[in-house]
Structure 1
Amino acid sequence: MELSVDPETGLLAAAGYLPSPNCDARPPDSSIDLVVVHGISLPPGEFGGGHIAALFTNRLDPGAHPYFAEIAHLRVSAHLLIRRDGELLQFVPFHQRAWHAGVSSFEGRSACNDFSVGIELEGVDDLPYEPVQLERLAAVIRALSRAYPAIRLDRVVGHSDVAPGRKTDPGPAFDWRRLHALLEPHRPVLARATDTNPTE
């Protein structure tokens, strides 16, 4: 499945769009050259429903679940969510800065939100993600690499890589080798690709 990013709107053509207020402009001199993969489930360990979208659009009901009372005040977002069934939901245009990585750094550069795309996969650290999610993720990365050529395979990392000790997602159950295998035929597009597992 080939996807495309509209360079004018910063939107993924195949994704539903639910605008999040939790975003702002990237710094003028920033280049989009990193993809940060996250894992999320709301309530923790449960899948389905609209709670993730509600969190990213500041509509999460704090009374709907005990855990929600702890997080409903947060102002967070991601550019994209990939549901368990492969559905794609976009919350922030790619050329804008989503609030997904928090305190973070990569290769000596802090504030990863400035130069990264944040992609959430519905899941938990210790449960394998669905094959369709990895397939959709690979298709999204290919589309991003065409729109933003600085994105390479060695610049696709986990939240735990940019915020070690603070974050653990997408977790040990995330199959980096499978993702790289899905991207391998597109090595010429993703220049300087590597087979190294970035979580190792």
Structure 2
Amino acid sequence: MYLIEPSGWLANANKIPSPNFNQRPDPSEISLLVIHNISLPAGNFGGPYVQQLFTNCLDCSAHPSFADLQGLTVSAHLFIDRLGGITQFVSFNDRAWHAGVSQFDGRENCNDFSIGIELEGSDDCAYSEAQYRELLAVTESLQSYYPAITTARIVGHCDIAPDRKTDPGAAFDWTYYKNALG
């Protein structure tokens, strides 16, 4: 498990503050964990582009697939790379811009009450053991700090925005992950 500081930052995580956040309507309502995937360019791992996207520093001319990212302002609370490295971009106390148009359990605007974790990956590429190990440790820490995040309230981006999102995809082993949480 990891220590979550009162400021909402994960102790010992690499911290790269993103400008893409704002205040939550009510931080006491944090009750949902959303799992995503991201790779830039799609299917390529290990580059600097995700960090650059989340900090508004991405050169959209660096790759043809980046053209549609021009002007996009997005972020996640955490990013877990293929080796298990964790980078935090937004304090858990704040609203990261990861869910977009979304709905869970009859409530819209999931960014208001959720924490978003991006796994470096794609829908059809198996995630690494290091990623699962760190995701489990982070999830246990989040559930301890935010008890309203029950295992039933851990979902994929595909679950809260099914008409437009597919991540974390078929490659994510929900059974393994949720069983490991107990």
- Matched residue, 2:2: 3
Instruction: Find runs of 4+ consecutive structure 1 residues off by over 4 angstroms.
Output: none
Q: What SS does the aligned partner of 2:29 have?
A: coil
* TM-score where L is the length of structure 1: 0.89
RMSD: 1.0
- Matched residue, 2:62: 64
Q: Deviations over 1:15-56 (max 9, x none)?
A: 100000000000037500000000000000100011000000
Report if aligned partners of 1:32, 1:116 keep a CA contact under 8 Å in 2. Answer: yes
Distance 1:44 1:86, change over 3 A: same
Deviation of the 1:131 alpha carbon: 1.1
- Matched residue, 1:173: 171
- Matched residue, 1:183: 181
How far, CA to CA, are the matches of 1:91 and 1:97 in structure 2? 11
Q: How does 1:67-82 map to 2 (within 5 A)?
A: 67-82=65-80
Does residue 158 of the first structure (1) align with residue 156 of the second (2)?
A: yes
How far, CA to CA, are the matches of 1:72 and 1:17 in structure 2? 24
Does residue 142 of the first structure (1) align with residue 140 of the second (2)?
A: yes
The aligned amino acid for 1:170 is P
- Matched residue, 1:46: 44
Q: Deviations over 1:126-148 (max 9, x none)?
A: 11101111111111111111111
* TM-score where L is the length of structure 2: 0.97
User: Which segments of 5 or more consecutive residues in structure 2 lack a partner in the other structure?
Assistant: none
Distance 1:67 1:34, change over 3 A: same
Deviation of the 1:181 alpha carbon: 2.3
How far, CA to CA, are the matches of 1:30 and 1:105 in structure 2? 19
The aligned amino acid for 1:177 is T
Q: What SS does the aligned partner of 1:144 have?
A: helix
Number of aligned residue pairs: give it.
182
Higher relative contact order (CA 8 A, sep 6+): 2
How far, CA to CA, are the matches of 1:47 and 1:26 in structure 2? 31
How far, CA to CA, are the matches of 1:15 and 1:113 in structure 2? 22
Report if aligned partners of 1:35, 1:155 keep a CA contact under 8 Å in 2. Answer: yes
How far, CA to CA, are the matches of 2:33 and 2:92 in structure 1? 11
- Matched residue, 1:191: none
How far, CA to CA, are the matches of 2:74 and 2:93 in structure 1? 17
Report if aligned partners of 2:27, 2:113 keep a CA contact under 8 Å in 1. Answer: no
Report if aligned partners of 2:35, 2:119 keep a CA contact under 8 Å in 1. Answer: yes
Q: What SS does the aligned partner of 1:24 have?
A: strand
Report if aligned partners of 1:30, 1:114 keep a CA contact under 8 Å in 2. Answer: no
Does residue 31 of the first structure (1) align with residue 29 of the second (2)?
A: yes
Report if aligned partners of 1:55, 1:72 keep a CA contact under 8 Å in 2. Answer: no
Deviation of the 1:63 alpha carbon: 1.4
